[in-house]
Amino acid sequence: MRLFVALDLPWELKQRLAFLCGDIPGARFVPAKNFHLTLRFIGEVSAAQAEDIDHSLAAIRLPCFDLSLAGVGTFSKASRSSALWVGADRDTALTHLQGKIESALRRAGLDPERRRFTPHVTLAGLSNVPEVKIAAFVMDKNLFRAAPVRMTDFTLFSSILGRDGSVYTPEVEYALE
């Protein structure tokens, strides 16, 4: 099983993000149904590990909070843009939730995450896309801001990689108080 923990976004926000997509030939835009904010990528685990992960995540008790998305940017590999994203305002509640998830997963036996948490929603994967096109897109869309949305839960997803893109399945939702 290939797993990750994320905030599943309300459909209205997913539709709003979908309106940003396009205008970059060669970009692999994420389907609106797959938009999410990853809190922790887990990767391949056994059924027993998945059960331990579920039990650890179910013990998290935190209040609901508002999530705000704003701005557009890119991640790069070897001086080439590799992903296009919409950022999330890094606030105390989001950072606290991500930290609690990280602690819960370590208690479940997972190695600590090595990458720094950068809250975002991936819009597209980029490979061999002219940097000038990416820069123009970012400049055009960088003032994007969505109204805050109330996050009432977080989700453990499974992921199956396919030729036509990934298929994400919500396995368990964990309520925030």
Question: 128 pLDDT exceeds 90?
Answer: no
Helix (H, G, I), strand (E, B) or coil at 1: coil
Structure tokens at 68: 């705000």
Nearest to 60 by CA among 153, 169, 149, 170: 153
pLDDT in tens, 28-53: 999 999 999 999 999 999 999 999 99
Report DSSP state, residue 9.
Answer: P
Q: Which is more confidently placed, 166 or 82?
A: 82
What does the H/E/C string look like for 121-132?
Answer: EEEEECCCCCHH
Residues acting as catalytic residues: 36, 120
What are the boundaries of each domain within the chain?
A: 2-175
Q: Per DSSP, what are the bridge partners of residue 75?
A: 83
Average pLDDT over residues 2-27: 95
- For domain 2-175, which CATH number applies: 3.90.1140.10, 3.40.1110.10, 3.30.450.40, 3.40.50.300? 3.90.1140.10
The model's pTM is 0.94
